[in-house]
Amino acid sequence: MKSGVSIDDVLAEVALMVRPQFGKGRPADYIPQLAGVDPNKFGMAVCTVSGGEHVIGDADEPFSAQSITKLFALGLALNQIGDEVWTRVGKEPSGTPFNFLSQLEYEHGVPRNPFINAGALAITDILLDTVKAPELLVRDFIGMLSGSQLEIDEAVAQSEIDTAHKNRAIANLMRGAGTITHEVEAVIAAYCRQCAITISCRQLARAALPLAADGFSPIAEETIFPSRLTRRLNALLLTCGTYDSVGSFAYRVGLPAKSGVGGGILAVVPGQATIAVWSPELDRFGSSVVGTAALEYFAQLTNCSVL
């Protein structure tokens, strides 16, 4: 990041710059409980590896983390079984929407990467090998990294479990192919409950600090990921974290990132900082319109990029 720049001033400027972006997207409505969230929300938090914390707007308001949780579930699975994960899931961008079904069929039930829904369901299945309720493991892992107790929004979880027909089709296809081994309903319930974890921008930026700090969490005061794994997680975020818009996202923002249909986006500036942004209106790829613009402006103003 540009030296001498005030992050608080940058956040204030970004909050002004994104104003024209409101109204261009739509909150997720395929999960009924998410459709009712106030579309005008905007929060942003930056945590630096040197201990700085900077926030603006609704940065302390919890929102539905959704697919952002997939990053932490993957981290847990890689810490548990290492490269064996890659016998069940690929690590290539999919070029297809996050809930796409047919690619999975002609690719023999092996998901392209751990961030599309199919890949994340396979990761849930891996975690189910060792624990009964992987969603609680993921919740408490993110909680430990953020220094707070996180909750699962039961109404959002139930709303998604009731309507997860496409995810059930994906899970059934993978069960038939042997990619997942547990009962489909158990995998779906754990996955939907994991996605329904609520978190604020400040908590999320704190929780992701190991990705910026070579695997070390200053909040938990311990090493969470070996350095090589930290770099690999950032590589996966850069290449797969925003699905079929990953190329244009990298072009605009230039940082490893993970989006969620709750409107949150987490971005990492390796060696320097984490940035979490939340605003509910989404583009057609499931990423926050205002959040993406905010990250683009932030990266421009601070001159931060991995590229």
Query: Rule CB under 6 A: which residues touch ligand DON?
Result: 66-67, 98-99, 117, 160, 167, 195, 259-261, 286-287
Choose, from 184, 261, 268, 289, the residue flagged as catalytic: 261
CA distance 180 to 122: 6
Q: Are 126 and 88 in contact (CB under 8 A)?
A: yes
Question: Least Å distance between CB 250 and ligand DON?
Answer: 16
| Residue 246 falls in the annotated catalytic set | no
| Residue 191 falls in the annotated catalytic set | yes
CA distance 161 to 167: 9
CA distance 106 to 158: 31
Question: Least Å distance between CB 247 and ligand DON?
Answer: 16
Residues contacting 102, CB < 8 A, separation 6+: none
Angle 294-297-302 (CA atoms, 0-180°, nearest 5)? 120
- Nearest to ligand DON of 66, 113 (CB atom): 66
CA distance 190 to 135: 5
Question: Across the strands, what pairs with 275?
Answer: 46, 267
- Nearest to ligand DON of 230, 259 (CB atom): 259
Choose, from 184, 243, 277, 288, the residue flagged as catalytic: 243
- Nearest to ligand DON of 14, 157 (CB atom): 157
Dihedral sign from CA coordinates of 235, 241, 244, 248: negative
Q: Which of 52, 63, 59 is nearest to 12 (CA)?
A: 59
| Residue 24 falls in the annotated catalytic set | no
| Residue 89 falls in the annotated catalytic set | no
- Nearest to ligand DON of 76, 118 (CB atom): 118
Instruction: Map residue 222 onto helix, strand or coil.
Output: strand
Binding residues for substrate: 67, 117, 160, 167, 191, 243, 261
Question: Least Å distance between CB 161 and ligand DON?
Answer: 10
- Nearest to ligand DON of 217, 245 (CB atom): 245
| Residue 2 falls in the annotated catalytic set | no
Question: Least Å distance between CB 160 and ligand DON?
Answer: 6
Binding residues: 67, 117, 160, 167, 191, 243, 261
CA distance 176 to 173: 5
**Which residue's Cβ lies closest to ligand DON?**
67
Question: Least Å distance between CB 224 and ligand DON?
Answer: 23
What's the distance, Cα to Cα, between the start and end of the chain in Å? Answer: 13
The residues carrying an active-site annotation are 67, 70, 191, 243, 261
